[in-house]
Amino acid sequence: MYTVLAWYSGINCDGTPYDVFISDSSDCITNVSCTTDNTADSSHLASLSTVCTTDYMAATKELFGDSPYLLLESYKDLNCETLGYAEGFFASGNCEGSSGLSAFSIATIDNNGSASVRSYNGSLCPESSFLYSLEADADAIQSHSCVDYFYKWYSSNDIISSTSVSSSGSINNDKIVTEAPTYSPTPSPTPSPKPTLSTAAIIGISVGALFVVVLIIAAIFCCKRRSRAKSTTESHLQPTASLGSAQAAPFAVPYRETTSLWNDDLIVAKRIPRDKVRIKTLLSQGAYGEVYSGVFNGLPVAVKMLLPITRTNLQHVNEFLAEAKMTATMDHPHIVSFIGVAWDSLSDLCVVLEFMDGGDLRSLLNQYEEKRHPVGFNRQKAVIALQVCHALAYLHSLMPPVIHRDLKSRNVLLNRAMEAKLSDFGISRERMERTMTAGVGTSLWMAPEVMLGEWYDDKADMFSFGVLLSELDVHTLPYANAKKCSRDSYGRQLPETEGSGGEPEVLYRLQTTLSHEL
């Protein structure tokens, strides 16, 4: 039995789903016509339907109807034998959502039969938020062969038997069938005697027929070359982005960038044996991942993994591997060192990092606050700030520059010697363009232009660094002492609460400390 989840724009589960997720589940026994998706981003409305079926191919066809779609089967092993899950994409050529709107994608079926799925972090799929792409040629899709060791592709061009939904909501499923058309032979009349051709005539006819065949082959070759050239030209056109479109747009081909993270040279070079990585205790947990203490080759390490609920999601797995690649490219004394990446299957992918035995800066500041440690800057705090500044200077000096985009006290790790190192490059991006607009990060540390979805560059990290300085100064979370936007019963604004001296005073204190003690 399989559970088929279909996500729709809006709250009524109508139109074409933008994403379909299939998993093997013995617990699925009841169909759910439509519910509100509570995991979706708060700025978007999404609804979710659930179908229980033994034939997810037919169920997917039923859900997409006449709309073009792609179906990717993801396997747990390298030979595509043990199915992990499958995911269906609305192949509109436009920017569509994913399960829970955790990412966004452009799925395209080209005129030549090839297909691609490009994943983005931004809701309008700007190139600056590009995560990864999966591609398959027409032969791989038609033969359903194992691509990149893990995937099998299907498309709406496959011949699938019709299905119907009964009044109870169950789907009557038929298997995929690919049948060649059958023709009934037509009785031919008894031929009448014909005159016999001479040997010379037979030779002449044969030569003429051969000449015609050569001409046909040459014409086909020229047509294919023209078609390929046209496809290459069209591949640089950007599609019109429209989230949750219910109508199939013309197959505009987005910019194609051959990307296969699993075969990337850096990932292959940094891969380590999975059985050599031993997991010990849980250190921290976030929205999508968790960090464990562990041992590799007898040395203590930090092991980062996806949450169990996200390990079977293709987009989350690829985003996690993209983060691993980003971290592997970093080489700076104040950035957490990358040791390696390991996996035996998609579901046990892990990233092995340097173990920072001093915890994170936020935990240290919480201890300071509980013990009423004196506020203000001392030498230790100034050194931490300076080391973070060195790490940012390194990121911004790379070509192209790298914007961290989530600088905060939780992402500054310490060792026992109180040396600070920057971590968590989950949403960092190379600045491929002049500026970016994808609003990502943690709101308390986020620059106003990022929060408003406006143009921004590496200066956004400097705003977050300023907020980090305020944390070092007063030990509390950002804006903890900010005045509440509230009024009394007479409508009068309440008086301001006392807080720190503000950002200019914080910078002055830091400058004074650095000039006297460093």
Q: Give the tens place of pLDDT for each residue, 455-511.
A: 667 888 889 899 999 999 989 888 777 644 544 455 555 454 433 444 445 555 555
pLDDT tops 50 at residue 141: yes
Q: Are 347 and 84 in contact (CB under 8 A)?
A: yes
Chain region(s) in the chain for CATH 3.30.200.20 = 261-354
Lowest pLDDT segment from 179-183, 279-283, 349-353, 421-425: 179-183
Q: How far is CA 456 from the centre of its chain?
A: 22
409 vs 239: which has the higher pLDDT = 409
pLDDT tops 70 at residue 154: yes
Q: Are 489 and 357 in contact (CB under 8 A)?
A: no
Band of pLDDT at residue 427, cut at 50, 70 and 90: very low
Site of tokens 């996690």: 320
Question: What pLDDT, on the 0 to 100 scale, is given for residue 45?
Answer: 64
| Most confident by average pLDDT, 25-34, 285-294, 415-424, 450-459 | 415-424
Lowest pLDDT segment from 15-24, 126-135, 268-277: 126-135
Catalytic residues: 406
At 461, the amino acid letter reads D
Q: How many Cβ atoms are within 10 Å of 401's Cβ, its own excluded? A: 15
Q: Are 49 and 74 in contact (CB under 8 A)?
A: no
For the residues 82-87, what does the mean pLDDT come to?
Answer: 86
Q: Are 449 and 460 in contact (CB under 8 A)?
A: yes
pLDDT tops 90 at residue 354: yes
Percent of the chain residues topping a pLDDT of 90: 22
Chain region(s) in the chain for CATH 1.10.510.10 = 361-517
Band of pLDDT at residue 207, cut at 50, 70 and 90: low
Question: What pLDDT, on the 0 to 100 scale, is given for residue 394?
Answer: 92
For the residues 85-98, what does the mean pLDDT come to?
Answer: 87
For the residues 354-382, what does the mean pLDDT come to?
Answer: 91
pLDDT tops 80 at residue 246: no
DSSP helix/strand/coil, 336 = coil
Question: What pLDDT, on the 0 to 100 scale, is given for residue 415?
Answer: 92
DSSP helix/strand/coil, 160 = strand
Distance CA 357, CA 350 (A): 20
pLDDT tops 90 at residue 386: yes
The residues with which 402 forms a beta bridge, in sequence order, are 430
Distance CA 340, CA 296 (A): 10
For the residues 414-424, what does the mean pLDDT come to?
Answer: 91
Distance CA 513, CA 342 (A): 44
CA dihedral 374, 380, 384, 385 (to 10 degrees): 60
pLDDT tops 80 at residue 265: yes
- Least Cα distance to 175 among 86, 61, 74 occurs for 61
Distance CA 352, CA 300 (A): 10
Q: Are 419 and 387 in contact (CB under 8 A)?
A: yes
> What is the average pLDDT value for the chain, to the nearest integer?
74
- Least Cα distance to 70 among 83, 86, 48, 85 occurs for 86
Q: Name the token pair of 184.
A: 């009934």
Percent of the chain residues topping a pLDDT of 70: 66
Question: What pLDDT, on the 0 to 100 scale, is given for residue 382?
Answer: 93
Lowest pLDDT segment from 25-39, 198-212, 399-413: 198-212
Q: Are 500 and 481 in contact (CB under 8 A)?
A: yes
- H helices of 65-146, in order, are 138-143
Site of tokens 């060649």: 180
The dotted CATH code for 261-354 is 3.30.200.20
Q: Are 72 and 50 in contact (CB under 8 A)?
A: no
Band of pLDDT at residue 177, cut at 50, 70 and 90: very low
Residue 168: CA count within 13 A, CB half-sphere:
5
Question: What pLDDT, on the 0 to 100 scale, is given for residue 252?
Answer: 30
Question: What pLDDT, on the 0 to 100 scale, is given for residue 500?
Answer: 41
Lowest pLDDT segment from 93-97, 189-193, 433-437, 483-487: 433-437
At 516, the amino acid letter reads H
pLDDT tops 50 at residue 22: yes
Band of pLDDT at residue 243, cut at 50, 70 and 90: very low
Lowest pLDDT segment from 5-19, 394-408, 442-456: 442-456
Name the CATH code of domain 361-517 (choices 2.170.130.10, 1.10.510.10, 3.40.1280.10, 3.30.2090.10): 1.10.510.10
